[in-house]
Amino acid sequence: SDGEKLELATIDESSKISFPLCMRNLHEGLRKEHHLKHNGRLQLGLFVKAAGLTLDEALQYWRTEFTKNMDVEKFDKQYAYNIRHSYGKEGKRANYTPYSCLKIITSNPPGAGDYHGCPFKYSDADILQRRLQTYKIPNDAVNEIIDLVKHQHYQIACAKYFEVTHKSGEGTATINHPNQYFVESKRFLNG
Ligand code: SF4
C-alpha cells in the first residue's frame, strides 16, 4: 500500500523514524553538505530506490541538494546520468541491488568527509553516544547500544535502536539489511 512506500514529500520525517542509522546519517549528510561522495551516493541511492522512490523523485531529491552548490547543467551532466543508470534507464540496464549490512560493514571503510558505512561499526563510541543522545534515545538504551558495539555486535545494536525508536518493546533479533529495517518499520507503523 501507499503507506509502505518511501515518499519524497515526507522523506525528512521518514528518515527520522524509518531509516536505519546509516541511512539517516547519509540523508542528514546530504541535507547538510548539499553533496555526497561516490560511495555515499551509491549506499543511499540504492536504498531510497528499493524503498520506493521513483526515478523522478530520486532525480528531484538529489538535484534539490546538489544544485544549492552547482548549476543545474553541471548536475545533469555529472550526476543525473548515474541516477538514471541506477534505475536501469541508461547503459546496460544492470541490476543494482541495494547493499546489505554485511556489505556496508565489511567494505569501503569511510574516510574523512564520508557519510557512508555503518555508524555502529565506524563511529567513535563517544561520537555515537552523543548522537544517540541528540536523537533522544534514553540513556539506558544508549549504554546498551554502546556496549553491543564494543563487542562488535553492530547489527544487534541496530535492532536495539529500532526497538527504542519504535517503542516496539519486542526486540527485533537482528538487522540484516537496511531495506529490511525500512519495511519492518513501515509494517510496525501501519499496525
Ligand atoms: Fe545500517 Fe545495517 Fe549498520 Fe543498521 S546494522 S546501521 S542497517 S549497516
Q: Tell me the per-residue pLDDT of 32-90, one tens digit each, with 9 for 90 and over.
A: 999 999 999 999 999 999 999 999 999 999 999 999 999 999 999 999 998 998 888 77
* pLDDT category of residue 168 using cuts at 50, 70 and 90: confident
* pLDDT category of residue 92 using cuts at 50, 70 and 90: low
Query: 20: CA distance to ligand 1 center in Å?
Result: 6
Asked if residue 19 has pLDDT above 60, the reply is yes
Q: Ligand 1, residues 102, 118, 185: which to mutate, most atoms within 8 A of Cβ?
A: 118
Atom of ligand 1 nearest to the CA of 21: 6
Q: Whole-number mean pLDDT of the chain?
A: 93
Asked if residue 118 has pLDDT above 90, the reply is yes
Q: Radius of gyration of the chain from Cα atoms?
A: 17
For residue 138, give the C-alpha cell: 534514553
Asked if residue 1 has pLDDT above 60, the reply is no
Q: Ligand 1, residues 181, 184, 185: which to mutate, most atoms within 8 A of Cβ?
A: 181
Q: Give the C-alpha separation, 165 to 136, whole Å.
A: 9
Q: What is the pLDDT, as a whole number, of residue 24?
A: 98
**Higher pLDDT among residues 34 and 96, named by residue:** 34
Asked if the ipTM is above 0.95, the reply is: yes
Query: 181: CA distance to ligand 1 center in Å?
Result: 8
| Shortest-distance Cα residue to atom 1 of ligand 1 | 22
Q: What is the pLDDT, as a whole number, of residue 71?
A: 96
Who's near 73: CB < 8 A, 6+ residues apart?
none
Q: Give the C-alpha separation, 108 to 54, whole Å.
A: 27
Query: 141: CA distance to ligand 1 center in Å?
Result: 17
Asked if residue 173 has pLDDT above 80, the reply is no
What is the identity of the amino acid at 9? Answer: A
Atom of ligand 1 nearest to the CA of 157: 5
For 181, half-sphere exposure in the C-beta direction (CA atoms, 13 angstrom radius) is 33
Q: Give the C-alpha separation, 3 to 100, whole Å.
A: 23
Asked if residue 99 has pLDDT above 90, the reply is yes
**Cβ contact 96:55 at 8 Å:** no
Q: What is the pLDDT, as a whole number, of residue 171?
A: 65
Query: 86: CA distance to ligand 1 center in Å?
Result: 21
Q: Give the C-alpha separation, 17 to 12, whole Å.
A: 9
Give the least confident one: 56-70, 84-98, 114-128.
Answer: 84-98
Query: 155: CA distance to ligand 1 center in Å?
Result: 6
Query: 120: CA distance to ligand 1 center in Å?
Result: 7
